[in-house]
Structures are given as C-alpha cells and as structure tokens.
Amino acid sequence: MQPVDYTTFAAAVAELGRDWCPARLEQVFQRDRFTVYLCLRTLERRGWLAIGWHPEAARIHMGEAPPKEPDTFTFSQQLLHQLKGLAIVKFDRVTPWERVVDLQFARRPGDPVQWHLYVEIMGKYSNVILCTAENVIVTAAHQVSSQQSRIRPIQTGQPYELPPPLVDTTPRIEEPFESWRDRVGLVPGAIARQLVKSYRGLSSTLARSLAQMADLDPDQATANLTEIEWRRLFDVWRGWLKALETETFDPVWTATGYSVVGAPQGQAAPTVQELLDRYYGDRLNGDTFQRLVHQLRQKVANQTAKLTKKRDEFRDRLALSNEADQMRAQADLLMAHLHHWQPGMAAITLPDFETEAPISIPLDPALDAVSNAQKFYKKHQKLKRSRQAIEPLLAAVTDELNYLERVETALLDCDRYRHPDDLAAIEEIRDELINQGYLADPGYRRPDRDRAEGFHRYQTPSGHNIWVGRNNGQNDRLTFRLAGDYDLWFHAQEIAGSHVLLRLPPGTAPTDTDLQTAADLAARHSRARHSDAVPVVYTHPRHVYKPKGASPGTVLYRRETVLWANPQRAIAIAPATP
C-alpha cells in the first residue's frame, strides 16, 4: 500500500485549510482501532474528516460518511466530549518537512485556541493526540509508555513534544544545479534511490514519479546520465519544490497508485481529498474483505466438518436401528417354536414363516426360550425408540449442513474485492452467522433497514434487468420484498445457489434469450458453477414461499419450469451499472 509521504500530506492539508477552515465540529465517530471521523460543517457544506493512524495507511483527508454502527471506543468519546461545538480555526503544519498537523480548536474564529489535536502521519509511529491550550496531553489514540520509548513517551498529563527532527538534508529551491547534482550523483546508483538517500521528505513513489516526469528510467544509474538528462531532472525537481511552495498540486491516478504532483499518463482526480479517500478506502476495504472471507470460510469449513461427522454417526446408528424388525421377527419365531428349544442351546435353526427358509437364531444358553424371546422383544423396543430419536436429529443436522452449504456457496462467489458492495455483502454474511450462533456476538445488531441492496446486477439482450442475491439475507429480500407480480424467479434445481430475479415491466413477455440468460446466471452463481449443464427452475415469485422457522435463504417453490443452463456462458455477461 502506498504510504502518505510529505508531499501528499502537504497537498491534503493545504486543501483542508483552504476548503474546510473554519468549520464547526458536530460529531465524532471512531470506525475501528485506527480510524476516527470528525463531522465538520462550514457555511456552505457538511463533510467527514477521516483521520487514520493505521501503520500502513496513516492519513488525513475528507471522505465519505462512516457506516452507521455503534461506536464503542473511548478515544472518540473523549474527543467528542471536549471538542463538540467548537470550530477548527487552523490546520497548522507545525514543522517544515514533518508530517505533523495541528488542528486548532476555538469557540469561534478569532477567539483564543482552546484545544490542539495533533495528527502525526509517521508510518507505524503514527498517532493522534489531543492537548490543552497549554499543550498538555489529555488523550491519545495510542499511548506510549516510557518503557516502550525512552525518547518520546506519550501519556496523559505529560507535555506534548514534537517528534525528534530528522537530520537528512532538506530540499531547497534555492540550491544551485551543480550542488544538487553533486549531492545526488556522489555515490553511483539508481536515480530514484539516490534522490531518496540524498534528501529528506521524499518517498520512493515520489522519486520514481519525478524521474518518469523527466522522461527517465527511475532505475537508471546516475553515472550514466547526460548533462541534458541531469538538467531535465533538475527542472522537474524544482517544479516539485515550487508546487510545495505555492501549494499548487496535480492529483492523478497512476498505474500503481496515485500522485499529487502529476505523472506521465496519469488520470486526473477531482481533488486530493477524493483521491486519498478512494485509494485508502479501497485498499483498507480490500484488506478487511480478504480477512473476513478467510475467517468465515474457515469457520464454515470447521463447522461443516463437525456436522458431517455427526451426520455419519447418526446414519450408522440409524442403520443399526433398522435391525429392530429383525429382532421382533426372531422373537416371534422363537415363541412359535418353543417346543424345539432344548436347555443349553447357544443357537436354534427355525423355518421362516413365509419362505420356510431356515433361519439361525443366536441364544443365551443360560436363559430359557421365553426369556430369550423377551430379550429380543426388549432389543426391538430399544432400537425402535432409538430410530424415533435419531431421525429428527439426523434431519436437523442435514438441514444445518444444507444451510452451511448455502453460506459456503455465497462465500465462494465472493472471490475478490471490487466495490464497497462486496465488503457489505461479506459483512452481512458475518452478521447472519452471528445471528445463527456460529460466531461470537460483538454486542450489536445492524438493523435490516440499514442494509444496502448491493445485488449483482445484469441486463438481458432485450434490456431487462436481472438481480442476483449475494447471500442468504439478500436472497430473502430479493424474493420476498422486492419481487414484483410480473417478475420471474430463478434458482439452480436442488443445488445451493443465489436467488435470481428477472425484472419484467407489466405486460411484458420475456424472450427465450431473456430466460436463458437468467438461467445461465443462476447456474453461474450456484455451487455447480464449474459444470457444463445445470438444471435451473423458474417460476413467479408468488409461487415461492419460506417454511415456518426455516433458516435464511431456505425456500420452497411450485409450478416451476425447468431450463438447462450453461454457467460458462454467463462468464461473458458484463455486470450492469447500479
């Protein structure tokens, strides 16, 4: 993940100072252990300032509103208690060439500063620290004891001190070309690496961008540069310093990330704030997505293995209980032929009632014929009771395995992160497993009304919309809340998979191509996605119903029609824009 370097930091803070100062703080929300949001309101607009101290994604920028979830963090509550209703009157970069900004709060612009919120963007040492007007620490996102750091402890009640200054050479726009070239080329090496080594404030990403903007290979050795190439690189260098001095930046997307000073073949971004919000939002969402998918797949796999073992045990016991009728038949046979029994017999052979075929019956030599028969009758009753007890248990385990199979299919359909809807779908699966008791309860439930309808969306060649559920919750909402009277409902026959809805306007009849497209998508988003031919049923949503007490995603249907679908054809169907 590309870190926020000094240039990006300077660009973000410059925009914040220009567009969001002064602004009144209305709310504070902490999303996770590394990110807090400040809700700011100016005379023209309202927005959320995201401040992150994640070791790999420390940043500060305006962004999208955080999700509506309970905030259980103490740090955000302390910030809200002290700062709510105050105005940010200045975004002050307290030290040149350091990634530290002081958010100064006062009752109103022009009044004395009452609080300082220091945001330190320093990789794994990043932090957010709230101090009084006298710079006494009140709280910090990450407190550092004297045992953890003898150089700079950060604890409540102590005076705030700036991070120790770096000793590397500071870039200066006044530096002559010859001095700059001598410094960069003193030790032969790659251009980008030598720029980073020679001056402070440069990241490897920025150094490579500067070399590319000078039409040079960042890995080219400085010893091989011509005079013209040196001059060209120096002009780009001075342009970068001029951009920092005048706070004029050019945010662009690049093939590997982003740049705030332009880049060859870069795609322009509207603002630095939008650039950072999208980049780090996507990266952090992607990391969260992968972690959740791995956690949920592992949990489902472990639970499936346990239930499979239990099901096999029930089946074995049920197979034993099938001998109950045999026990009763042997007892009846023995009672009908008591006169054939002799004391001390360990077995007796008697003719079957119907076939008269000889049947060998084992006996207990210590018991008489009647006692042996009673023993068989008792075994019969015991096995019969065992069957009556096991059958509902086996049915329950089978239903639970079918449910987990549907969850596993939904997880397999989430192959990688592409859009925030992907993360929302996985989080909904996680919450469902919490509700079903498979995961520990974190102490809250997200209301269904807050669920985003992030279905897979496609279109048929005729232009009709197709919606595909991405998990059990979406499947239920799709089928029982959103489906209309004229729509058609599709599902892979007797196979775990998504509910698919072909949306049809009133009075519209689907073509064979429309039906086949929807069927192919139903097959594609099912457990049989790698098959060449999959039976898919379709019917009107009014013929689909949920049994009472059934688990999420479970439905029964009637009046269905079967189509044979090819899931491989659905690969070529591009998703539609929501």
Sign of CA dihedral 135, 139, 142, 144: positive
pLDDT of residue 172: 92
What is the model's pLDDT at position 443? 59
Do 17 and 86 share a domain, yes or no?
A: yes
**Do both 377 and 475 map to the same domain?**
no
Report CA 402 to chain centroid distance, whole Å.
24
Contacts with 316 (C-beta within 8 Å, 6 or more apart), sequence order: none
* Same structural domain, 187 and 125: no
On whether residue 197 sits in a domain, the answer given is: yes
Residue 413 lies in a domain: no
The answer as to whether 440 is a domain residue is: no
The reply to whether 27 and 109 lie within a common domain is yes
- Domain-ending residue, one of 140, 156, 188: 140
- The amino acid at 477: R
Q: What is the CATH number of the domain that holds 192?
A: 1.10.8.50
Are 131 and 181 contained in the same domain?
no
pTM: 0.75
366 and 488 co-located in one domain: no
Q: From 404, 425, 401, select the one nearest 413 (Cα to Cα).
A: 425
Is the domain of 249 the same as that of 340?
no
Question: Mean pLDDT in runs of 10 for the chain (578 residues)?
Answer: 92 95 95 92 94 93 86 92 95 91 95 96 93 95 85 90 85 93 91 93 91 92 92 94 93 90 87 93 89 93 94 85 77 88 89 87 90 87 81 90 93 86 89 89 56 82 93 93 94 94 92 95 94 95 92 92 94 75
Asked if the structure places residue 134 within a domain, the reply is yes
Q: Are residues 135 and 181 in the same domain?
A: no
State how far the Cα of 498 lies from the Cα of 528, in Å rounded to an integer: 11
| Residue 136 sits in the same domain as residue 183 | no
Dist CA 46 CA 456 (whole Å):
32
Q: Which one-letter DSSP state was computed for residue 9? A: H
pLDDT at position 167: 78
Q: Where are the beta strands (DSSP E) in 87-220?
A: 87-93, 100-106, 113-120, 127-132, 137-140
Q: What is the pLDDT of residue 171?
A: 93
The verdict on residue 304 lying in a domain is no
Any domain includes 25: yes
- The DSSP string of 434-476 is HHTTSS---S----GGG-----EEEE-TTS-EEEE-SSHHHHH
What CATH code is carried by the domain that includes residue 23? 2.30.310.10
pLDDT (0 to 100) of residue 578: 54
Last residue in a domain, options 345, 376, 393: 393
Find out whether 393 and 314 touch, Cβ atoms under 8 Å. yes
Sheet holding 267-268, edge to edge: 258-259, 252-253, 267-268
- Let me know whether 328 and 243 are in one domain: no
- Report the domain count for the chain: 4
Residues 135 and 187 in one domain: no
Domain that holds residue 131: 6-140
- Let me know if residue 446 belongs to a domain: no
pLDDT of residue 449: 45
Q: Are 21 and 57 in contact (CB under 8 A)?
A: no
- Give Cα separations from 6 to 26, 95, 318 (angstroms): 29, 12, 70
* Domain stop point among 210, 240, 269: 269
In a domain? residue 162 = no
254 with 188, same domain: the answer is yes
